[in-house]
Amino acid sequence: MSDIINGFKIDHFIDSGYAHTTQTYEDMLTIIDQKDILFEIAQAGHKIDFDPDVDIEILNPGTTYSDELNENFVVLKINYEDISFLLMGDAGLETEENIMKAGYDVDSDILKVGHHGSQSGSGSTFISTVSPEVSVIEVRAENEYGHPDAEVLERLQATSKVYRTDLNGTITVTTDGSTYTVTTQKSDTPYVSPNTTPTETSEVIPTETSTSEPAKVQVTAPDSKKSDITDTSSASNSLYISDLMSVLLIKQQIKNMLKLQIKEQHQ
């Protein structure tokens, strides 16, 4: 994580708040402090002020933490007009149950599958409730854990088109708010959302060849709604959201506004 913080311009860091005692975690906090990055603890039910057209709601963690580290991962539900994403991080069955009990709307077009498709997550009731059209699994090839689990994979394939970074390479989802397109590093044929036809403002962003294969989600707005949020890709009007890093890049004016609010609260 320290390499990521040093490698990207980060204005706003959102953390689960679950304390770690490792040196890695302490080093991360030190760098955040040294770089004067706004640090915020995620809490279920709160929303992230990112862009007027993009609704980002935190579904996990709740007011209390689990004894299981992975169940404290930040889970995000993202809506951009008619297209929705659910980013599960490494959260598993316990978190899925808590989210459903809380009554959150988890129905989503795109699901970033929890915990690399492990059997510890993606329960049948939860997947049925999410009802994704596309499921993305971030997983290393020939990993020692046997991810993704065969039963979980079968469950996902029954309701959605499944993409895996070990087989497909980098996976990119691009949307204009009414349709979406999935492109992968290892295929020249994009997948277009069912029963829709991409508009002229819908843009497919090609992925770059890389030795690493992280899953990523890109939301591309049409030119008429171009955002001035800090750009992190070659597309000048794209919003990049990295679930795996739990890091949000937010424009400088929001950072300054939030810092001012915090300062006023302590005066």
Q: Is 227 helix (H, G, I), strand (E, B) or coil?
A: coil
Positive/negative CA dihedral, 243, 244, 248, 249:
negative
Whole-angstrom distance, CA of residue 121 vs CA of residue 71: 10
Q: Is 214 within the bounds of a domain?
A: no
Query: What is the pLDDT at residue 57?
Result: 97
- Asked if the structure places residue 221 within a domain, the reply is no
Q: Say whether pLDDT at 244 is over 70.
A: no
Whether 91 has a pLDDT exceeding 90, the answer reads: yes
pLDDT in tens, 13-50: 999 999 888 888 889 999 999 999 999 999 999 999 88
How much is the mean pLDDT over the chain? 78
Q: What is the pLDDT of residues 143-162, one digit of tens each?
A: 999 999 999 999 999 999 99
Query: Is pLDDT above 70 for 208?
Result: no
pLDDT for 150 equals: 96
The pLDDT > 70 percentage for the chain reads: 73
Mean pLDDT of 209-232: 36
Contact 235, 218 (CB under 8 A): yes
Q: What is the arithmetic mean of pLDDT over 75-79?
A: 97
Count of domains for the chain? 1
In a domain, 209, yes or no: no
Q: Looking at the domain assignment, is residue 243 inside a domain?
A: yes
**pLDDT for res 19:** 83
Longest dimension (CA), the chain: 57
Instruction: Dump pLDDT digits (tens) for 173-183.
Output: 999 999 999 99
- Confirm if 221 and 176 have CB atoms less than 8 A apart: yes
Is residue 90 a contact partner of residue 72, using CB atoms and an 8 Å limit?
Answer: no
Q: Per the domain annotation, does 12 fall within a domain?
A: yes
Domain residues for 30?
A: 1-193+236-262
Q: What is the pLDDT of residue 22?
A: 86
Give the bridge partners for 191, in sequence order.
Answer: 182
User: Residue 215 domain-assigned?
Assistant: no
Instruction: Decide if 230 is inside a domain.
Output: no
251: pLDDT strictly greater than 60: no
User: Which CATH number is 131's domain given?
Assistant: 3.60.15.10
Q: What is the DSSP string of 72-139?
A: GS-EEEEEETTEEEEE-TT--HHHHHHHHHTT-----SEEE-GGGG-TTS--HHHHHHH--SEEEE--
Please state the pTM of the whole predicted model.
Answer: 0.72
